Structure 1
Amino acid sequence: MGTQKPQGYSLTEPSAEPAAAPGCATCLSLSVARQNARCSDDYSAVSDCNVQLRQHQNEAH
């Protein structure tokens, strides 16, 4: 019995973390929170900050 790759399946690189927009206090706040979470080894919070930052950027920028 041979193994087959699923059709249409591919691995991709994780997307880069969103950067704060210059001059935006909300972006800066979320970026600082993300860095604080990373320093505390709370990678779930890092991910949450990335999600919130992307949502904010989609709505505000």
Structure 2
Amino acid sequence: MAGTQKAQGYVLTDFPAEPKAAPGCSGCLGICVSRENARSRGDYSAVSDANVKLRQHQSEAHES
């Protein structure tokens, strides 16, 4: 069976922590509000998208 690989034994036991808003940042807060609105309507794809957007925002706006 050339080209096949065995599973590496990795198991995802915990989900990564969601990013949190930086204190005093209206951009972070807006994304977090959108994320909670998506969660309240059961749109977990939008929740995930908001997490990605928040991480991108934080890396651009809050890391030196």
Q: Do both share a fold (TM > 0.5)?
A: yes
Q: How high is the TM-score relative to the length of structure 2?
A: 0.79
Q: Which runs of 5+ in 1 are unaligned?
A: none
Tell me how large the CA RMSD over aligned residues is: 1.3
Query: What is the number of equivalent residue pairs in this alignment?
Result: 56
Q: How high is the TM-score relative to the length of structure 1?
A: 0.83
Q: Which runs of 5+ in 2 are unaligned?
A: 1-5
Q: Quick one: percent identity of the two aligned structures?
A: 61
Moved over 2 A (4+): none
Deviations 1:23-56 (CA, angstroms, capped at 9, x unpaired) = 0000000000000000000000000000000000
